[in-house]
Amino acid sequence: MNGVFPFVLFIGVLLVAVGWMGMKSRRQTRRAHEGLAALARQLGLQLHEKPPRYGLFPQVPAVSGQRGGREVRFYIFTTGSGRHCQQWRAFAVACANPQGLTFRLSTPNGFSRVGERPGLQEVRSGHPEFDERFVVQTNAPDFLRAALRPELLDPLLRYWSAVAPGASLTAEGAGIVYAEPGHFAEAKALARMLALLEPALALAALPEVYRG
């Protein structure tokens, strides 16, 4: 009997822990759903529901549609696995990129490897405050140095928050993606990403005018 009790206690604690984690995940997903639904209404986008995982666990929906004449999508994704699994909240802005322009903005104290590609050179914009806060890498340094005008940089300085370490904005292929660690359950994070959408829409014009 003495040998059975610790085993039963262990199973009981395990079930309680799993139940608590499940409830926490459901609350988080519900808050994310509410926030994304509100964002979709505000921007005139569509909310895309996902079926529960394994028929039991609710999933965070995606949001997509047209904004500023471009296809825009808000979504989550994960990198790594097990203990190294990291969830990211992100939005993507579609653009044409006929000459393959690539550039990446990140913060020096939270350099994220999401979307990192070899062969990029670091470039300075000439804007002291911006160059102090951001690392910019590109495959077209001369073009990007000339293109990063104050009207493009000022909104990033204003809205890119220091409370989002590891955030990055990457232009590659047919789109621009802003990503930061976390979940859409945080209202402040949604507001920050909404504010960053407009400068991202402006930056989406750069691959379309780049001529190599």
pLDDT (tens place) for every residue of the chain, 212 residues total: 555 656 555 555 544 444 444 455 567 788 888 989 999 999 999 999 887 766 566 788 999 999 999 999 999 998 988 778 888 999 999 999 999 999 999 987 544 444 455 678 999 999 999 999 999 999 999 999 999 999 999 999 999 977 777 899 999 999 999 999 988 988 888 999 999 999 999 999 999 999 98
User: How many domains does the structure of the chain reveal?
Assistant: 1
Alpha carbon distance 20, 22 (integer Å): 5
Domain that holds residue 22: 4-209
Residue type, 98: P
Alpha carbon distance 114, 82 (integer Å): 17
Q: Do the Cβ atoms of 187 and 35 come closer than 8 Å?
A: yes
